[in-house]
Amino acid sequence: MFNIALFEPEIPQNTGNIARLCAATGCHLHLIGPLGFSLREKHLKRAGLDYWHLVDVHIYDSFEDFTTKHSNARFYYITAKGKHCYTEFDFQPGDFFVFGSETHGLPEELLAANRESCLRIPMVSGARCLNLSNSVAIVVYSALHKQMFRGLS
């Protein structure tokens, strides 16, 4: 369905929760290193529960490695600095939603080079950001809604 890419994730519980979301929605999970934890981390496994066998996980050493392997894909960068609201687009199966690390977000040069593809989740003034796994769930379920939840029961 859709692709969730986590750029240098730092908190294993967030990644585990996102893996569980991917298992429940049929999304593919892409982890772009360096990762801030081991994939053997008990908190990662616990948050993902027994869903790991249902998750299609891809791991990349760098952002360049990631984009090279998916050079023909459409990427949307989710950031509090986004020009557009995430609800403004009609996403298509195969699209990539790229999320930054919990403490640093996405690199400024990446955002500057892709302004038209930078999407934000509206929040009240003064709020810095949402939890990473909550942000992923908001965007994924909105995209699935626009696809009329095709393939899900």
Binding residues for S-adenosyl-L-methionine are 78, 100, 121
Binding residues: 78, 100, 121
Q: Are 133 and 14 in contact (CB under 8 A)?
A: yes
Instruction: List the alpha helices (DSSP H) in 1-153.
Output: 12-25, 42-48, 63-69, 108-113, 132-146
DSSP 85-107: EGGGS---TT-EEEE-BTTTBS-
What one-character DSSP code corresponds to residue 150? Answer: T
Q: Count of CB atoms within 10 A of residue 47's CB?
A: 20
Partner residues linked to 30 by β-bridges: 5, 58
